[in-house]
A and B are shown apart, each in its own frame.
Chain A
Amino acid sequence: MEEILSVQNLCKKYDELVVLDGIDLSIKKGEVVVIVGPSGCGKSTFLRCLNGLEDIQDGKVIHDGEVINPCSGKLNKVREKIGMVFQSYELFPHKTVLQNMLLAPLKVKKADKKQAEKEALGFLDRVGLLSKKDNYPRQLSGGQKQRVAIMRALMMQPDILLLDEITAALDPEMVREVLDVVISLAKEGRTMVIVTHEMSFARAVADRMLFFDEGRIVEEGSPEEFFEHPKTERLQKFLQSFSYAR
Chain B
Amino acid sequence: MGFEVLFKGNNLLRLFEGLLAALRISFVSVIISIFCGLIVGTLMTQKNRVIQVITKGYLEFIRIMPQMVLLFIVYFGTTKALGINMSAETSSIIVFSLWGTAEMGDLVRGSLTSIPAIQYESSYSLGLTSAQTYVYVIIPQIIRRMLPLSINLITRMIKTTSLVMMIGIVEVLKVGQQIIEANRKSSPNAAFGVFATIFFLYFIVCWPISLLSKYLEKKWEN
Contacts and interface: CB of A to CB of B under 8 A. Distances in A.
B134 to A, nearest CB: 12
Interface in A122-172: 136, 138-139, 152-153, 156
A84 B126 CA distance: 8
Interface in A57-104: 75-77, 79-80, 82-84, 86, 88, 90, 92-94, 103-104
Contacts, number: 64
A86 B128 contact: no
Q: Considering residues B118, B122, B128, which has the most beta carbons from chain A within 10 angstroms of its beta carbon?
A: B122
A53 B124 contact: yes
B220 A94 contact: yes
A90 B127 contact: no
A51 interface: yes
B208 interface: no
A66 B126 CA distance: 18
Given A88-B118, A93-B141, A94-B220, A53 B128 contact: no
B127 A152 contact: no
B152 interface: no
A107 interface: yes
Interface string A104-127: 100111000000000000000000
Nearest to B132: A107
B222 A90 contact: no
Contacts of A83: 125-126
B144 interface: yes
A139 B221 CA distance: 11
B126 A82 contact: no
A82 B125 CA distance: 7
Q: Interface residue tally of chain A, by bracket?
A: 20 to 34
A107 B136 CA distance: 9
Q: Considering residues B128, B141, B220, which has the most beta carbons from chain A within 10 angstroms of its beta carbon?
A: B128
A138 B222 contact: yes
Contact of B127 (A76, A94, A138, A139): A76
B119 to A, nearest CB: 6
Contacts of B52: none
A90 B115 CA distance: 11
A94 B132 CA distance: 15
A153 B124 CA distance: 11
A103 B125 contact: no
A77 B118 contact: no
Closest 3 CB pairs between A and B?
Answer: A80-B127, A90-B122, A104-B126
Interface of A: 48, 51, 53, 75-77, 79-80, 82-84, 86, 88, 90, 92-94, 103-104, 107-109, 136, 138-139, 152-153, 156
Given A82-B125, A90-B118, A103-B128, 5 more contacts: A86-B121, A94-B220, A107-B132, A108-B126, A152-B126
10 contacts: A51-B125, A76-B127, A79-B124, A83-B125, A88-B118, A92-B122, A92-B137, A94-B140, A107-B128, A108-B127
